[in-house]
């Protein structure tokens, strides 16, 4: 992981390692977000899911989001990482960490980064259900 | 004009492959997607997609150049 970078990872995310890398470089407040694979989506039991990404553009856009957060909020450093591949219930799908001198900007920057990742970064999720066919999340009904 | 098209996620599944080289009369990404949607029965409406040319987000009416790589981006679902 790099400070002030967004990364796509094919291997399990290790928050403790990421946290200590960030804390080595910033001091004061630290806020992190972990997105976990949950066992249901809109009422349907989920068995497994697969994330895929358009990696080059995902990492470019993710880097831009982090640069925007550094510009907008009084934060000292930030990093984010998103898994791809087959994930199991409880696995970490995404991690965001932000360090700052004070807690307010750290919360705000972390929230901004995860919201923008979900909205802008070309990553897709394919869910397998206990009942019914697999589905690409947000792509049903022609994507409308 | 010869283009490379890369497919991801639901479009990759529907096209049955991750990329292809294509000789096409299309001059803009919008024309290219309409051509591919009709030929391969792609389910997503163009209004729900974004497009990238040569690894950067692009406009639907941006002129394409010979040798460009075009990627159609379905609704994202990270996080």
Cβ neighbours of residue A10 closer than 8 Å, sequence gap 6 or more: A83, A84, A85
- Evaluate whether A63 touches A21 at the Cβ level (below 8 Å): no
pTM: 0.93
β-bridge pairing A135-136 and A123-129 = antiparallel
- At residue A67, the pLDDT reads 98
pLDDT tens digits, A105-142: 999 999 999 999 999 999 999 998 888 888 899 887 55
- The residue written with tokens 């163009």 in the block is B46
**In terms of CA atoms, which chain A residue is nearest residue B50?**
A122
**A121 within 8 A of A65, measured Cβ to Cβ:** yes
What integer pLDDT is reported at residue B61 of this predicted model? 98
pLDDT of amino acid A144: 45
Question: Residues of B with CB below 8 A from A137's CB?
Answer: 77
pLDDT for the residue numbered A35? 96
CB contact under 8 A, B77 and A119: no
Kindly list the distances between the CA atom of residue A84 and the CA atoms of A10, A66, A124, in Å, as whole numbers in the listed order. 5, 20, 9
| Between A133 and B75, the higher pLDDT residue | B75
The parts of chain A modelled with pLDDT lower than 50 are 143-144
Query: How many other C-beta atoms lie within 10 A of the C-beta of residue A124?
Result: 25
pLDDT at A141: 57
pLDDT in tens, B19-69: 999 999 999 999 999 999 999 999 999 999 999 999 999 999 999 999 999
Contact A110, A36 (CB under 8 A): no
Asked if the interface predicted TM-score (ipTM) of this complex is over 0.90, the answer is yes
Chain B residues with CB-CB distance to A81 below 8 A: none
- Read off the tokens for A60: 């470019």
A-to-B residue pairs, Cβ atoms closer than 8 angstroms: 87
pLDDT for the residue numbered A143: 47
Q: Which of A35, A56, A124 sits opposite B9 (nearest CB)?
A: A124
What's the pLDDT score for residue A26? 67
């Amino acid at each position: 992981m790099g400070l002030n970078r967004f990364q796509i990872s094919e291997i399990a995310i290790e928050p403790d390692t990421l946290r200590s890398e960030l804390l080595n470089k910033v001091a004061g407040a630290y806020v992190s977000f972990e997105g976990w694979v949950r066992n249901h989506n809109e009422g349907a039991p989920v068995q497994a899911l697969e994330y895929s990404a358009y990696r080059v553009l995902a990492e470019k856009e993710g880097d831009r989001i982090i640069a925007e957060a550094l510009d907008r909020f009084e934060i000292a450093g930030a990093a984010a990482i998103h898994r791809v591949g087959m994930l199991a219930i409880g696995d970490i799908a995404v991690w965001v960490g932000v360090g700052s001198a004070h807690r307010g900007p750290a919360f705000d920057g972390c929230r901004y980064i995860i919201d923008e990742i979900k909205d802008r970064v070309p990553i897709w999720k394919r869910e397998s259900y206990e009942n019914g066919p697999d589905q690409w999340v947000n792509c049903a009904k022609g994507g409308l | 004009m010869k283009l490379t098209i890369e497919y991801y996620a639901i479009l990759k599944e529907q096209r049955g492959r991750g990329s292809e080289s294509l000789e096409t009369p299309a001059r803009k990404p919008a024309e290219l997607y309409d051509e591919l949607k009709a030929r391969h029965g792609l389910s997503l409406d163009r209004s729900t997609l974004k497009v990238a040319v040569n690894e950067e987000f692009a406009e639907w009416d941006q002129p394409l150049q010979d040798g460009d790589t075009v990627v159609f981006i379905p609704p994202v679902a990270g996080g």
